[in-house]
Structure 1
Amino acid sequence: MKVNIVGPLPPPVGGISVHIKRVKKQLISKGVECNIYNEANVENEAENVYPIHSYKLFVLKIPFLKADVFHFHSISLKMRILLGVYKLLGKKIILTVHGESLADQINNSNRLVKFFLLKGLRYIDQVICVNEKNTKQLIDLGFNAAKLKTLPAFIKPFEDKQDIEAIPNFVWDFINNSEFVITANGCIRFYKDEDLYGVDLLVELVNRLLKNSIKVSLIFVVLDRDSQNEKERMYYKQIKEKIKDNKLESNFLFYETKDTEFYPILSRSHLFIRPTKSDGYGVSIAEAIHYNIPSIASDVCTRPEQTILFKSGDLNDLYNTTASVIHNYEKYKRKLETYESTDYFQELYDTYKSISGK
């Protein structure tokens, strides 16, 4: 079997790119040929990784590529519209929808664009949604339930000594000198004019915890800093100034990464928080739970089992939830020690085999 995957591959590191990286490793371990057509435009021909460069040229190239299954993770509207055309040309097509991107495209497009988008996607072999909410949205739009699948994107990490060694010393120093380490990750991004990853909430949270004599340190792993636009760069600067004004420099660390994995830091922490204003699932939450790290997240979507939820955007609820976890920490740790997190690769692999007929 041969699988062509279209989407980003680290660097930069992100939920989708890490998922694709792990899928590729698992496929190779099973003797499956796997090519990555990389939206991040990093090339490694020896590893069958090819940069897309230009969408305009790449969409014309796809009909001439050979594979038993084409798996798209792209959020490009134009590419999603064309998936039905590729199916007509004999390709076997899977699209994974990570988060709200497809729902936003459907809701915000004009009638003509919406018509062609929905028509094409209804025709392809499989649409995978990472949460049940998005699957239901598509069923309500008239999609065939047999062609829809809810399949979270979590695949257990391949632990590698090099991943640990790649983390800078200042990060380990911060962790080693901290009494209680909270981790979080994400981009500096806006969604509907709000801080998508809730960095503002985390700064306020740390400030309030310290004022109430709850000693914590928080490391926020910043993804894809180079793609920040002017508004995001200005906001990032303002957040840093706020940290300085509140004298939080020794308790709040931004670590800007391009290609280091998150799990070495996550596994050394005490608590993970994901206060996103919109989300698909939260692969990092599943990863934290895999390492028996209690995890708090906003209630914006279906979360992994064992996630501790708070009301999205509500600082008081986030503070009370976090303080409760810290004060009852051993209880939360014991609960996770008896829980086995689910790795979803095998179900994805079975989907490839079913659709390819191999």
Structure 2
Amino acid sequence: MTKPARIAILGSYPPPYGGTSTHVMRLSAMLDERGLDHVIYNAVSSGTNGRNVVSVARRRMAWMLRYAVAAPERVIYVCSARLEVWLLAATMAMRGKQVIIRLRNVALPDYLANPRTRALASWAMRRATYVVAVSPELAAAARAAGVPEERIIHQPGFLPPACHAPGEDGLSPSQRDFLSGRHPVLAANGKVDVYAGVDLYGFDHLVELVGRLRPSYPAIGLVVAFWDHLPKDEPRLAALHARAAELGVSDSILWHTESWPFVPVLAHAHLFLRPTVTDGDANSVREALFIGVPAIASDAVARPTGTICVKTRDLEALIAAATATLHTPPPRTPRCEIVDLAKIDVYLNLFERLAS
């Protein structure tokens, strides 16, 4: 009989290449380097790696109910933002499992804003062995919910990239074709989504930005890399296409809905754009800074040092920042300090300690 792994990660695995799935993929490689056996339960897609990634996306809640009772692993790392998963994980902690809950986006503040979900989320977090927060704001929210300081670890979601994408440069065929002869190249990522009635990732403003910049930069190209795209999102994407056509910039924008690693696009970019309405720690901002690409982002949340921040949903501020940056580009200097190696070591030591 095969001995069960010591660590289980409940979350997602590429494809799609979202922030959490990429984090899990890179974390897995780091755990391998330390000889920490683990299994990844992918509850988002059918993606596996033929080794230690198991897709449980089909009827995932039925699977989770069974797993909560019979999980063989000692350490359970919950990378899901779903409250029902937190609650089931909390019951596992009460039965002796070492449970870590990862706080990564706006879900926690939303939970805490509602009295009923606040009580449930607080109960779950207080019973976890540890809580990992990707930002100081989320760490503060966990403290406010009653989690003791010593059981909160602040670890940004960004882990250093290792690009193993297909192709000599890692680009997809459509990205490679589109980027041929383009200058400057702008990069953005996300999905077609709405938050509080507004375009979550600011794609509408990106279309307007390209429309303003194109007279000065006829060969401009914007690659919007989607980490997820569903049939229900098509009407919103069609509206973006229509606006781009009105502005005469349809051929300047690649809406790359195919799931693909984002780092290769960033490596070709002159500017990264993140005009979100709300956000988590935004791994892609740190990714851009790490490889030396200027990053312009909204001030919706605190951003890493070096980010060019603009007022949230202020199109003119976004255009002004992009224009100034492209006119006088800063040196393309990788910012290795964006990675706090000491924090990553604490993060990995946590798994090692709990699994022993």
TM above 0.5, yes or no, is yes
1:164/1:264 contact within 8 Å kept: no
Q: Does 1:314 align with 2:314?
A: yes
The answer to whether structure 1 residue 349 and structure 2 residue 352 are counterparts is no
Range moving further from structure 2, 305-314 or 154-163: 154-163
Q: Is the 8 A contact 1:13 1:257 kept in 2?
A: no
Q: Does 1:188 align with 2:199?
A: no
CA-CA distance at 1:313 after TM superposition: 0.5
CA-CA distance at 1:254 after TM superposition: 0.9
- Which among 337, 340, 357 is matched to residue 337 of structure 2? 340
Q: Which amino acid aligns with 2:254?
A: L
Tell me: CA distance 1:150–1:163, structure 2 relative to 1, closer, same or farther (3 Å).
farther
CA contact (8 A) 1:198 1:276 kept: yes
The separation in 2 between residues aligned to 1:214 and 1:105, in whole angstroms, is 46
Partners in 2 of 1:141 and 1:117 — Cα distance? Answer: 8
**SS of corresponding position for 2:324:** helix
CA offset at residue 43 of structure 1?
5.6
Secondary structure at 1:71 match in 2 = strand
1:256 alignment partner in structure 2? 257
Give the alignment partner of residue 118 of structure 1, picking from 109, 116, 122. Answer: 122
Q: Which runs of 5+ in 1 are unaligned?
A: none
Q: Which residue of 1 aligns with 2:202?
A: 198
Distance in 2 separating the partners of 1:347 and 1:7: 21
> 2:82: which partner in 1?
76
Unpaired stretches in structure 2, ≥5 consecutive residues = none
Secondary structure of 2:214's aligned partner? helix
Measured in 2, the distance between the counterparts of 1:57 and 1:20 equals 20
Residue of structure 2 in register with 1:64 after alignment: 70
What is the CA-CA distance between 1:299 and the residue it aligns to? 0.8
Instruction: Tell me, yes or no, if structure 1 residue 93 matches structure 2 residue 95.
Output: no
Counterparts of 1:214 and 1:294, CA distance in 2: 21
C-alpha separation between the residues in 1 aligned to 2:154 and 2:167?
30
C-alpha displacement at 1:214, in angstroms? 7.7
Question: For the residues of structure 1 that align with 2:120 and 2:217, how far apart are their CA atoms?
Answer: 57
2:8 corresponding residue in structure 1: 4
Deviating more after overlay: 271-280 vs 245-254: 245-254
> Which amino acid is 2:338 matched to?
S
Measured after TM superposition, the shift of residue 135 of structure 1 is 1.3
Distance 1:2 1:305 in 2: 37
**Inter-partner Cα distance in structure 2 for 1:157 and 1:338:** 13
1:172-321 to 2 correspondences below 5 Å: 172-211=176-215, 216-226=220-230, 229=232, 232-258=233-259, 260-321=260-321
1:27-51 superposed Cα distances (whole Å, 9 cap, x missing partner): 1122111101111242648412222
Q: Deviations over 1:292-341 (max 9, x none)?
A: 11111111112222111111110111111111111110xx225x346533
AA aligned to 1:242 is R
Q: Structure 2: how far apart are the matches of 1:45 and 1:203? A: 36
Structure 1's 338 and 151: CA in aligned 2 closer, same or farther, altered over 3 A?
Answer: closer
Higher mean C-alpha displacement, 179-188 vs 142-151: 142-151
Over 3 Å counting, the alpha-carbon distance change for 1:81 and 1:272 in structure 2 is same
Q: Is the 8 A contact 1:125 1:355 kept in 2?
A: no
2:13 touches 2:48 (CA, 8 Å); kept in 1?
no
Give the whole-Å Cα distance in 2 for the aligned partners of 1:43 and 1:271.
Answer: 30
* Contact 2:10-2:77 within 8 A present in 1 as well: yes
Instruction: Write out per-residue CA displacement over residues 274-308 of structure 1, whole angstroms, 9 at most, x where no aligned residue.
Output: 11111011101111112111111111112222111
Kindly provide the CA deviation profile for residues 150-208 of structure 1, in whole angstroms up to 9, marking residues without a partner as x: 21011112232626566333311222211210100101011111111100010111111
State how far apart, in whole Å, the 1-side matches of 2:345 and 2:167 are.
24
Q: Do 2:275 and 2:313's aligned partners in 1 also have CA atoms closer than 8 Å?
A: yes
Identity rate, percent: 25
Letter of the 2:303 counterpart:
R
RMSD over equivalenced CA pairs, Å: 2.1
**Offset of residue 69 of structure 1:** 1.6
Q: d(CA) in 1 for partners of 2:219 and 2:346? A: 42
- 1-side partners of 2:173 and 2:202: how far apart? 26
- The amino acid that maps onto 2:229 is R
Give the CA deviation at 1:84: 1.9
SS at match of 1:340: helix
TM-score by length of structure 1 reads: 0.90
Using the size of structure 2 for normalisation, the TM-score is 0.91
What is the one-letter code of the residue matched to 2:350?
Answer: T
For residues 219-259 of structure 1, the C-alpha deviation after alignment (integer angstroms, 9 at most, x for no partner) is 11122112x53xx321110100111111102211111122x
Q: 1:142-161 residue pairs with structure 2 within 5 A?
A: 142-160=146-164
